[in-house]
Structure 1
């Protein structure tokens, strides 16, 4: 079998002709943001730094409620949204395999039997006018060489997208666990609100009964009765709202668990949860990139976009393909496997991208736009991530001050209530005065419960802002401009 070789002169001519399909004037515009340019030194100056501020992967166990631990474990096992994220990751992996297959040669084998009748008007007898069978077995080989690395770049682009989808699945799990914890916090607050509204209703009923006695004694008039009845009705409405909030929180948890509403009815009243300490990890701006799944995924997508550009650019260059075809054929099965029945074909070929109506330039322009979009998304995610941490830290700092002040208000209101009870028992003050002071205490306690719930909720959101225990372990691609 004779080997065919391409002349170096022919290859040089092909490269020259390929200049007709040009990449001139096409480029990317996106510029990745440097983390060093995002200053937060003054914003974080007063926050204590400790490596322990990075959340653990099971961060919810620090909140101190075993029922919550079990609920998050159940949600991570049964929530259908996680199945969607896993399916997207699996789909991306299949694209990696498909792109890798394009880099490899293909080999096929087949066999056939052809039945042929040739007319005598075309071929004289004895061949003409007879029917014959022609069995054949053969194999084919084809391989498009990857001279410029375009197929490898396309495979690497698919690999980057797959890594991003894999990280997205981690992000989906974090989002789910955070949503379960926040819904659980809301359920706890709904129960606390129910306690206050029940106490409000009890106080309103007691006030109404006392006013009725005073009206009967001629001390008050019917105006006071109507005012007391209004207060009772309002307290009953608020109690109904609190019941609805409990039901809504339980249903929200049932949805997150991937179960029906009856599952929510089995969730007991939450314990008092422990808010995360107000602290900041060292080297936040630099290390946050490897700790937040959305940032890691965004960087993988930028990396994939650069590889896509590289792959498209190689389409402007000539390429060499090699195909071969060999087998055995005969006019009968008797001598099919004999040496004279063999045949073979070897066909090297070169492709020259000269004119395509602008398809390649359009593909490259689209790849450039994809890179710019990926960079813009990464920049937006990076800026949002750092400011998200700053916002949650500021919120927690303010809530600490508010809770301390509100606790003083609760203590003062409780002291006033106890003093009013002492005065009533001593015959100095009236029971109406005691009920009025109790209203102030209940209002203060309601506000304190709301602030406590907000503090735990914000600490959970801070955990999410700090990555929720995700750690890329240094497996984060660099963000660089697309290669020219």
Structure 2
């Protein structure tokens, strides 16, 4: 094979990056069922959220751009595939010309003016003995598969962002409601302390302390108003609408339910991550691209055939005597090109290295992402269990204080002070609930969101 490559040689050029074996990085002892499902958001049983995600998948500009990239990759693959088939073209020309008296044209045409007419049908077929065009097609098809997977990754990321923004808005609205409750409670407390000061029971110190938290809480409400507005604008942008489109949304945080997820990394994680599948196809495409470039060092063989009519003048142009058929074989071999082919091959090797490095980085990031979300959910389960106990204690304390007040054993001030602690615990519980649903959605995204590869993956073919 090296002898066929002439003076131009690809020796000494090869990729340097090593691809991780993803199957050795996951815990194969852990079974992994079909979770999450493809339309995982429907399991949250929120019709409004489902409608918003469907709108986003239909109207989001980023997703439309991903679809355009897929169409572009498909068109490039079609154009590349055409090189494997014979090419046929027709040509027609008519040129009026004066023939030189001292040129190649002999008398009686020398020194006269005539029309030179040509009608030709020509065909050409590049015989792909060394696989240059076949490898180029495989590379282009790999790019198509990668674009398909990237489109699915974009869909999954968009659905994830819509769900996260939706429940972030729900958390902020719940916090806003509690902040307003706290403000009303603070106003009641300040009014009570003011009456106690007038009665000589409390001093101005207690009054200033009670009144000082009112503007502070009003500031917090204003900050929450801002965050709610920004959350609505972000959600509207995700679904491809103008900022006011989400003004009427009033989502609620879902109830916390146990998740049947593995405690360690699942063995078939990679089949559920569209970005990893896309990276695998990029590596595959780069490898075929390098093989196509390598074939350029070998002879290029073209078979050409043509037929037609050629004549001087119109009167005998289409006569049988004007027929001009022919067939030929052309072989070209690179001898000296000032290093052009070697540099092209170096570029191909660098493309493989870049694709492998991108795959390795995507794989490690995916594994870290899953591990992070599993750790966060495990920690949140513990935190919420402790918070529920704390909240239950605060509710019991408030109930007892209210009973004592109603029985004239304690005063209203005690009830309001205990209620302050109860509201604080409810706010902490809302934050934990919001973090839990957010982490659950992020885990769904980390596990691929139910993505399943339709084409056989490069790893499965090896």
Q: How far off is 1:187 after superposition?
A: 0.9
> Aligned to 1:136, which of 89, 112, 118?
118
Task: Report which stretch shifted further, 424-433 or 100-109.
Answer: 424-433
Structure 2 SS opposite 1:300: helix
What residue is the counterpart of 1:340 in the other structure?
321
Q: Is the 8 A contact 1:187 1:250 kept in 2?
A: yes
Judged with a 3 Å threshold, the aligned counterparts in structure 2 of structure 1 residues 158 and 125 are, in CA distance, closer, same or farther, namely closer
Judged with a 3 Å threshold, the aligned counterparts in structure 2 of structure 1 residues 50 and 36 are, in CA distance, closer, same or farther, namely closer
> Aligned to 1:381, which of 347, 350, 362?
362
Structure 2 SS opposite 1:316: coil
Q: Is the 8 A contact 1:50 1:282 kept in 2?
A: no
What residue is the counterpart of 2:259 in the other structure?
278
Task: Report which stretch shifted further, 288-297 or 317-326.
Answer: 317-326
> Aligned to 2:448, which of 467, 479, 483?
467
Q: How does 1:240-251 map to 2 (within 5 A)?
A: 240-251=222-233
Q: Is the 8 A contact 2:162 2:238 kept in 1?
A: yes
What residue is the counterpart of 1:59 in the other structure?
40
Could you tell me which runs of 5 or more consecutive residues in structure 1 were left unpaired when the two chains were aligned. 1-11
Q: TM-score, normalised by structure 2?
A: 0.94
> Aligned to 1:27, which of 5, 14, 17?
14
Could you tell me which runs of 5 or more consecutive residues in structure 2 were left unpaired when the two chains were aligned. none
Q: Is the 8 A contact 1:153 1:310 kept in 2?
A: yes
Residue 442 (structure 1) aligned with residue 423 (structure 2) = yes
> Aligned partners of 1:50, 1:315: CA distance in 2, in Å?
46
What is the aligned-residue RMSD (CA, Å)?
2.3
Judged with a 3 Å threshold, the aligned counterparts in structure 2 of structure 1 residues 371 and 64 are, in CA distance, closer, same or farther, namely same
Task: Report which stretch shifted further, 284-293 or 25-34.
Answer: 284-293
Judged with a 3 Å threshold, the aligned counterparts in structure 2 of structure 1 residues 125 and 69 are, in CA distance, closer, same or farther, namely closer
> Aligned to 2:190, which of 208, 220, 239?
208
Task: Report which stretch shifted further, 59-68 or 238-247.
Answer: 238-247
> Aligned partners of 2:396, 2:278: CA distance in 1, in Å?
55
What residue is the counterpart of 1:304 in the other structure?
285
Structure 2 SS opposite 1:140: strand
CA deviation map 1:251-272 (0-9, x unaligned): 11100011001211132x2133
> Aligned partners of 1:154, 1:131: CA distance in 2, in Å?
50
Q: Is the 8 A contact 1:99 1:158 kept in 2?
A: yes
Q: Is the 8 A contact 2:4 2:298 kept in 1?
A: no
Task: Report which stretch shifted further, 191-200 or 377-386.
Answer: 377-386
Judged with a 3 Å threshold, the aligned counterparts in structure 2 of structure 1 residues 299 and 242 are, in CA distance, closer, same or farther, namely same
> Aligned to 1:395, which of 370, 373, 376?
376
**Structure 1 ranges of 4+ moved more than 6 A:** none
> Aligned partners of 1:277, 1:212: CA distance in 2, in Å?
48
Q: How far off is 1:473 after superposition?
A: 4.5
Q: How far off is 1:17 after superposition?
A: 6.3
> Aligned partners of 2:445, 2:187: CA distance in 1, in Å?
45
Structure 2 SS opposite 1:175: helix
What residue is the counterpart of 1:423 in the other structure?
404
> Aligned partners of 1:206, 1:100: CA distance in 2, in Å?
78
> Aligned partners of 1:422, 1:206: CA distance in 2, in Å?
19
> Aligned partners of 2:50, 2:449: CA distance in 1, in Å?
15
Structure 1 SS opposite 2:343: helix
Q: Is the 8 A contact 2:309 2:324 kept in 1?
A: yes
Aligned residues: 461
CA deviation map 1:23-72 (0-9, x unaligned): 12111122221234325479x7xxxx5625x1111110111211111111
What residue is the counterpart of 1:458 in the other structure?
439
Q: Is the 8 A contact 2:286 2:355 kept in 1?
A: yes
Q: How does 1:147-186 map to 2 (within 5 A)?
A: 147-186=129-168
Q: Is the 8 A contact 2:271 2:277 kept in 1?
A: yes
Q: How far off is 1:476 after superposition?
A: 1.2
Residue 365 (structure 1) aligned with residue 346 (structure 2) = yes
Q: TM-score, normalised by structure 1?
A: 0.90
Residue 328 (structure 1) aligned with residue 315 (structure 2) = no
What residue is the counterpart of 1:16 in the other structure?
3
